[in-house]
Amino acid sequence: MLVEDGWTGGVGLRALCGGEALSTALSRRLVNRVATLWNVYGPTETTIWSSIRRIDESSEHAAAIEPIGRPIANTRIYVLDGTRQLVPIGVVGELYIGGAGVARGYLNRPELSAERFVRDPFSPDPHARLYKTGDLGRWRSDGTLQYLGRDDHQVKIRGYRIELGEIESKLKEHPQIKDGVVVARGNSPGEKRLVAYVVGRADNESATARVEGLRDYLKSMLPEYMVPGQFVFLEQLPLNASGKVDRKSLPEPEAWVNVGARYVAPATPTEEVLTQIWAEVLDLERVGVHDNFFDIGGHSLHAMQVIARIRDRLSVELPVRTLFDDAATVREQSGKVVELYRARQGVQLPALLPRAAGSPELPLVALVITGSGGTLAVRASMLDRTIGRSSRGSFARSSTARKSSGARPRSSSIWR
């Protein structure tokens, strides 16, 4: 607030920043206004400050949030997992603080004291306690701590436990992002998806281009399941009376559409059926043939629903694992469906051969092969979209169809 109000600083001042995570953007603006700049961290329960780090012009500014440094004298900080075991360097865990500054507990609140002030398994003193901060962090390779947000911003999606603060930290490192938060939104009961709310810097890119750029950027640093499925661009993030981001006031996304990928409409009857199934199961307005099933909110339970509806509507038993292995888009899945049709009918469609020079133009036909489990159709309109009306006469089917397993189709019809 002082900087925004035009404060020029003082050459003899020693500045201590605490209470909120110190952004690197703010530290860069402060470091030349004071004699020394320190980033301090610690809750009231451990006597205010527990770690400290000096920041100067030569300090590394790779992360969006300044590291909180090392423990002060007579203080110990541990990064522990859910079973209160030490985690390796670089792995996210909860911060626990021990040492001389740890308070005895909360006055007249024994239940809360027992929850937050736990036995210290690393101390030989049987009465030693650790304070369970509820903050997330990790040790950096240089021996300093990186703060990553609150534990209550941890969510579970598709079976994965996700630290929203870790995603936000990476998001804020993008050069075109001024600020951002990530939340888990549910568009139907029991369903949650990651939504990123970002305040961007001015540029001339379209919304689709910006989303694609952010998705690719996050994918290069995070696992697929941690990349938000939707991005909402705001002029500024809503704040509460304390100046903190008011997550409850973030607007609902307008529609659950995968704007991170360019929409491509279905081009075959099979793709039309599959896109309809995916949209129904995932509760989306539309699905493009190149949309990744998991990018747009799909998970293992959705996969089973999709396979069941494919069985009912297309009479094909498609293995669930194909969605995870090599058919995560409608176009890929459509190819698998057609392969199963052909294998069951026992007929391999003949290859397209170049039309002999000087031969008459061939009429366009639609071939329908009907068997015990369904119908495989090649429509004239689909060929028009695939090879173009002007190219109809450029290719011809070979004169005979090869039988792959001796099975014969029940019937066939040809229309000119």
Distance, in Å, from the CA atom of 25 to the CA atom of 36, rounded to the nearest integer, reads 17
Structure tokens at 307: 């396979």
Most confident of 147-156, 197-206, 282-291: 282-291
pLDDT for 62 = 64
With a cut of 90, say whether residue 24 has pLDDT above it.
no
Specify which of 233-242, 340-349, 382-391 reaches the highest per-range mean pLDDT: 233-242
Give the orientation angle of helix 269-282 with respect to helix 300-314, to 10 degrees.
Answer: 140
- pLDDT tens-digit series, residues 218-246: 989 998 888 887 888 999 999 888 778 88
Q: Please, which residues have CB within 8 angstroms of residue 356's CB and are 6 or more apart in sequence?
A: none
Tens digits of residue pLDDT in 98-137: 999 999 999 998 998 999 999 999 999 999 999 999 899 9
Quickly state the pLDDT bin for 276 (edges 50, 70, 90): very high
Burial class (CB in 10 A: 0-12, 13-18, 19+), 143: exposed
Q: Is pLDDT of 401 > 60?
A: no
Q: How far is CA 25 from CA 3, 64, 183, 196, 309, in A?
A: 12, 7, 23, 20, 51
| 389: pLDDT strictly greater than 50 | no
Q: Are strands 193-200 and 230-233 parallel, antiparallel or unpaired?
A: parallel
- pLDDT higher at 361 or 164: 164
Report the pLDDT value the prediction gives residue 359, as an integer from 0 to 100.
Answer: 58
At 61-108, the pLDDT tens digits run: 567 789 999 999 999 999 999 899 999 999 999 999 999 999 999 999
pLDDT at 384 over 50: no
pLDDT over 70 at 44, yes or no: yes
> In a 3-state reduction of DSSP, which class is residue 377?
strand
Average pLDDT over residues 258-287: 83
Indicate the SS3 state at residue 272. helix
Closest CA to 364 of 324, 396, 406: 396
The per-residue pLDDT for range 302-328, each reduced to its tens digit, is 888 899 999 999 888 888 888 888 888
Under the banding of pLDDT at 50, 70 and 90, the label for residue 198 is: very high
All domains of the chain, ordered by start, with CATH? 10-152 (2.30.38.10), 158-249 (3.30.300.30), 269-345 (1.10.1200.10), 347-415 (no CATH)
CB 37 within 8 A of CB 59: no
Exposed/middle/buried for 216, CB within 10 Å: 0-12, 13-18, 19+?
A: exposed
